[in-house]
């Protein structure tokens, strides 16, 4: 209250006339007002003092922490211990060969139902080709899904890259060398700069918009062009040239062979692919194969060409491909003697309903009517009789390629061995990201032909087939 008394005294001295003229009641009111004003001033002073004290305390704490950190940071013994340990770890990693190494892989246990074959089975790590006595045969319901893959990649100083992919039972090479686990074994060596490279080794087929590994495909099965109008792998050497958005690879080597068998006259083939990244969201590709191929101990010339493209932006993903192929006379068309040719297309559209749930639709078409039908990846089902009683190729009853069959009242015969059929496929599927690294796929697929070429479990023929599959892909 000493501050209040001083304020009142100052006012009385400064304004003696006014003070004398006021009544006691008026003076009392003035004093009450001054008391209230002083209380507010004291409250403000007390608050300001408290804030200043809090700021001072915080500053002291920060200073203490900085001092402690500085004291720890300048500890030379601890610093040297960490440095020596880090350098030792780096030396051990390099000495063990793990510097620049990347390891990845996946497995995809799959369930498949096939109406015509009356099969309902889990498919996992089984062979997909009838090689060396294996009972398995290649089919669109038994390709590269239901597999496992382990990839080892290493980059050396200077930019040289090596890749080794192991894939039990279903590697690209297993279809022609039973038991071969090597799917891909390649080396890329920069020549002068990183944009000009020597490439060599065994390369998995690079044509089209789909890939062999299941974790790189949206659906379970592959499109018709991938399965039946493309190679499995190439073995050879070549060059890769990168010029801005254009990536060109050219390879000379063997088609679907690690080595040409002794006594065969097959010459090396030419394989190439050009990719153009048009922008951030789309791109185009073109690839070709021109090679001899002695699949069934006969000499044939194979030419495959295709163009593909993609558009991916936001929730939408669109991919497409057109292909043309021809092959000179082999066991595929031994009775016509004129070889075979075909053309086709495939298109895929995917839309993400949510960030984790995606819906997919794909449509495929192959026209292989010429010279009795048949495509590179199909195999005729032996010898049948045509309507005149002469020998003719039975169709590939599992995959639906070849000449149409007809029932003459007692047995099935080839209607016209000079004419093939048109082939269609529609796939509808979903892909759900259950958690990081785990995707669950579901697919319904309807395959149809313009003729009776699909063989059923009871030795009859139909124009269509239904396949349903579920797969869990776990990758890292």
Based on the structure, what is the number of domains in the chain?
2
Kindly indicate the confidence band of residue 379, based on its pLDDT and cuts at 50, 70 and 90: confident
Q: Does one domain contain both 406 and 278?
A: yes
Of the chain, the end-to-end C-alpha distance in Å amounts to: 78
Q: Do both 178 and 218 map to the same domain?
A: yes
- Of 472, 474, 475, nearest to 431 (Cα)? 472
Q: What is the pTM of this model?
A: 0.80
For residues 120 and 210, state if they share a domain: yes
Spatial neighbors of 450 by CB under 8 A, at least 6 apart, are 404, 421, 422, 423, 463
Domain CATH number, residue 301: 2.40.160.10
pLDDT of residue 24: 65
User: Per the structure block, which two tokens stand in for 407?
Assistant: 């029932």
Predicted confidence at residue 12, as pLDDT, reads 45
- Are residues 35 and 123 both part of a single domain? no
313 inside domain: yes
Same domain, 37 and 125: no
Decide if pLDDT at 3 tops 50.
Answer: no
pLDDT value for 104: 97
Task: Give CA–CA dist 447/465, Å, rounded.
Answer: 5
For 25, the 3-state DSSP assignment is helix
**Band (98; pLDDT cuts 50, 70, 90):** confident
**Is residue 367, in this structure, part of any structural domain at all?**
yes
| Interatomic CA distance for residues 116 and 114, integer angstroms | 6
Does the residue 86 lie in any domain? Answer: no
Tokens at residue 88, please?
Answer: 């030792």
Percent of the chain exceeding pLDDT 70 equals: 82
The pLDDT of residue 2 is above 60: no
Q: Does the pLDDT value for residue 8 go beyond 60?
A: no
Each residue's pLDDT tens digit, 244-303: 999 999 999 999 988 887 666 667 899 999 999 988 999 999 999 999 875 444 446 899
Averaged pLDDT for residues 139-166:
96
**Last residue in a domain, options 42, 73, 104:** 73
Spatial distance between the Cα atoms of 151 and 103, rounded to a whole number of angstroms:
6
Would 31 be classed as within a structural domain? yes
User: Residue 342: enclosing H or E segment and its boundaries?
Assistant: strand 340-352
Residues 55 and 139 in one domain: no
Same structural domain, 59 and 148: no
Cα–Cα distances (Å) from 122 to 76, 105, 136, 382, in that order, read 62, 21, 14, 28
Mean pLDDT confidence for 132-156? 91
Distance (Å, rounded) from C-alpha 305 to C-alpha 291?
A: 12
Q: Among 12, 185, 141, which residue's Cα sits nearest to residue 467?
A: 141
pLDDT at 29 over 80: no
Same domain, 115 and 203: yes
329 and 411 within one domain: yes
Residue 33 lies in a domain: yes
Both 119 and 63 in one domain: the answer is no
Which whole number is the average pLDDT over 234-246?
97
* Vertex 81 angle, CA 79 and 87, to 5°: 100
Model pLDDT for residues 307-326, shown as the tens digit of each residue = 999 999 999 999 999 999 99
Mean pLDDT, the chain, rounded, equals 86
Position 85 in a domain: no
Residue 16: pLDDT above 80? no
Same-domain check for residues 261 and 362:
yes
Do residues 241 and 367 share a domain?
Answer: yes
DSSP lists the bridge partners of residue 22 as none
Domain that holds residue 42: 2-73
Residue 79 lies in a domain: no
Residue 83 within any structural domain of the chain: no
Say if residue 261 is exposed, middle or buried (CB neighbours under 10 Å; 0-12, 13-18, 19+). exposed
Give the single-character DSSP code of 99. Answer: T
């Amino acid at each position: 209250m000493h501050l209040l008394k001083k304020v009142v005294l100052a006012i009385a001295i400064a304004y003696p006339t006014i003070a004398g003229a006021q009544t006691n009641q008026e003076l009392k009111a003035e004093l009450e007002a001054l008391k209230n004003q002083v209380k507010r001033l004291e409250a403000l002073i007390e608050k300001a003092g408290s804030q200043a004290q809090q700021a001072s305390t915080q500053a002291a704490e920060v200073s203490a922490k900085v001092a402690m950190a500085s004291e720890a940071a300048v500890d030379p013994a601890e610093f040297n211990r960490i440095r020596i340990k880090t350098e030792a770890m780096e030396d051990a990693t390099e000495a063990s060969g793990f510097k620049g190494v990347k390891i990845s892989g996946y497995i995809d246990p799959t369930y498949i139902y096939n109406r015509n074959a009356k099969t309902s089975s889990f498919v996992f790590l089984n062979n997909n080709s009838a090689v060396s006595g294996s009972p398995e045969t290649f089919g669109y319901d038994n390709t590269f899904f239901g597999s496992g893959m382990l990839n080892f990649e290493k980059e050396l100083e200077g930019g040289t890259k090596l890749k080794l992919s192991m894939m039990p039972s279903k590697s690209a090479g297993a279809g022609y060398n039973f038991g071969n686990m090597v799917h891909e074994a390649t080396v890329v060596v920069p020549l002068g700069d990183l944009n000009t490279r020597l490439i060599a080794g065994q390369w998995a087929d690079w044509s089209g918009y789909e890939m062999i590994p299941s974790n790189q495909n949206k659906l379970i099965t592959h499109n018709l062009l991938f399965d039946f109008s493309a190679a499995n792998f190439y073995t050879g050497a070549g060059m890769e040239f990168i010029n801005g958005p254009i990536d060109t690879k050219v390879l000379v080597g063997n088609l679907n062979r690690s080595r040409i068998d002794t006594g065969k006259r097959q010459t090396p083939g030419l394989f190439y692919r050009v990719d153009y990244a048009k922008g951030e969201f789309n791109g185009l590709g073109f690839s070709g194969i021109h090679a001899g191929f002695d699949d069934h101990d006969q000499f044939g010339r194979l030419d495959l060409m295709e163009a593909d493209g993609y558009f991916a932006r936001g929730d939408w993903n669109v991919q497409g491909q057109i292909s043309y192929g021809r092959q000179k006379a082999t066991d595929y068309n031994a009775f016509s003697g004129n070889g075979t040719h075909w053309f086709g297309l495939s298109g895929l559209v995917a839309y993400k309903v949510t960030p984790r749930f995606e819906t997919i639709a794909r449509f495929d078409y192959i026209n292989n009517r010429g010279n009795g039908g048949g495509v590179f990846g199909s195999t005729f089902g032996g010898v049948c009789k045509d309507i005149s009683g002469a020998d003719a190729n039975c169709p590939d009853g599992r995959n639906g390629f070849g000449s149409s069959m007809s029932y003459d009242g007692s047995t099935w015969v080839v209607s016209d061995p000079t004419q093939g059929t048109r082939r269609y496929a529609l796939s509808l599927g979903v892909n759900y990201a259950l958690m990081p690294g785990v995707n669950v796929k579901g697919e319904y697929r309807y395959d149809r032909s313009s003729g009776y070429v699909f063989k059923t479990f009871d030795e009859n023929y139909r124009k269509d087939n239904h396949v349903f599959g579920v797969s869990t892909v776990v990758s890292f």
